[in-house]
């Protein structure tokens, strides 16, 4: 590990990059960790009060940052939120998952550089049937990039490269969540954008995800990555299976697979089926649909939801911060931690 840290440091210095502080101190990576429970933070936020990190049932934190926060100007990176999340996990001897989101979180300068974009058309009746929090979040998206557009991809892949130059091999990082080919952290694109007007096809989005996945693997050769699987356009596209197959055939065990819709109803049948099959080749996990602070009523009984994940072979779960500090869910969380600890 000392040798690898030295090599990375020399490479960064030779490239003119700022050498991260952790490279000068790391002596050896902590023992391997299969997974566990990760406290899911609000987007662009890291709370100063995280009592769950003192809980042995919690393996670490999962942080999410918008591209617009991390790269507010072309090539000018604001790594402070990422550094702070790593330092917080280190303080408690925990791990951290990191997700930088492209798509609807794209900074305005990317569009000014010529990236194509689309606007949604929402149906009032569909919005009325949604939980109010979800509808508000959805209608807050006024435009999104055409993710297969070459200008968008050029700038996104440059960010991925800079991300890896700074953090690859950091022993506090459990995994890096791959994004950039959907509206948020997942593969989903939402049908309200009518992507076919902008050249969408299954072949186009599959090729886009392959480019993104390859870029992450090149940029993070020593750090596991996750793909949050979802059909890009529900009931219309058929791209999820080919992308999953690509990950498992080309990067088995290096790309973890997960779905971000776990609840007491079990989540998507198609996604669960793919994850159960993939569990023999790589680690799989879930993110909860919501928690105490976000669409709580949709999630339902927590232990029922956790049980589905365990049945599917999950090694790790992203559970909302609010649930981990809520006494109501303490017993379910503890039971989940015990079951996850048995996974070898």
Q: In this predicted structure, what is the pLDDT of residue 22?
A: 39
pLDDT score, position 127: 67
Distance (Å, rounded) from C-alpha 292 to C-alpha 151? 39
Mean pLDDT of the chain: 90
pLDDT at 40: 98
pLDDT digits (tens, 9 = 90+) for 36-83: 999 999 999 998 789 999 999 999 999 999 999 999 999 999 999 999
Give the torsion through C-alpha atoms of 323, 328, 330, 333, to 10 deg. Answer: -50
- Name the token pair of 189: 């694109």
What residues does 175 pair with on adjacent strands? Answer: 97
CA angle centred on 42, ends 188 and 145, rounded to 5°: 35
Q: How far is CA 334 from CA 117, 223, 230, 289, in A?
A: 45, 28, 29, 19
Domains of the chain: 1-30 (no CATH), 35-341 (3.20.20.80)
Q: Which candidate, 210, 79, 227, 100, places its Cα nearest to that of 156? A: 100
pLDDT band for position 158 (cuts 50, 70, 90):
very high
**Percentages (nearest 5) of helix, strand, coil residues in the chain:** 45, 15, 40
Displacement of CA 291 from its chain's centroid (Å): 17
């Amino acid at each position: 590990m000392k040798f690898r840290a030295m090599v990375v440091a020399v490479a960064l210095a030779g490239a003119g990059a700022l050498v991260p502080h952790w490279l000068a101190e790391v002596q050896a990576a902590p023992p391997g960790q299969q997974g566990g429970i990760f406290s899911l933070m609000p987007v662009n936020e890291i709370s100063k009060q995280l009592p769950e990190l003192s809980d042995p049932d919690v393996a670490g934190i999962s942080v999410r940052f918008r591209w617009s926060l991390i790269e507010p100007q072309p090539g000018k990176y604001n790594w402070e939120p990422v550094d702070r999340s790593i330092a917080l996990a280190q303080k408690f001897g925990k791990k951290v998952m990191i997700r930088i989101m492209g798509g609807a979180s794209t900074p305005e300068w990317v569009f000014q550089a010529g990236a194509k974009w689309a606007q949604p058309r929402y149906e009032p009746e569909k919005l009325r049937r949604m939980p109010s929090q979800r509808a508000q979040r959805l209608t807050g998206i006024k435009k999104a990039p055409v993710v297969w557009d070459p200008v968008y991809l050029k700038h996104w892949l440059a960010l991925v490269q800079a991300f890896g130059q700074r953090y690859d091999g950091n022993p506090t990082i459990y995994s890096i969540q791959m994004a950039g080919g959907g509206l948020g952290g997942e593969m989903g694109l939402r049908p309200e954008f009518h992507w076919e007007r902008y050249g969408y096809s299954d072949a186009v989005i599959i090729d886009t995800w392959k480019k993104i996945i390859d870029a992450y693997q090149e940029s993070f050769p020593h750090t596991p990555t996750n793909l949050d699987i979802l059909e890009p356009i529900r009931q219309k596209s058929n791209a999820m299976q080919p992308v999953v197959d690509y990950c498992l055939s080309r990067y088995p065990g290096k790309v973890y697979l997960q779905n971000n819709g776990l609840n007491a109803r079990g989540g998507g049948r198609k996604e669960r089926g793919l994850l159960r099959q993939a569990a023999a080749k790589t680690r799989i996990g879930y993110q909860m649909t919501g928690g105490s602070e976000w669409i709580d009523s949709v999630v339902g009984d927590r232990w029922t939801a956790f049980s589905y994940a365990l049945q599917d072979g999950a090694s790790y779960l992203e559970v909302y911060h609010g649930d981990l500090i809520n006494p109501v869910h303490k017993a379910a969380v503890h039971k989940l931690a015990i079951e996850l600890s048995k996974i070898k």
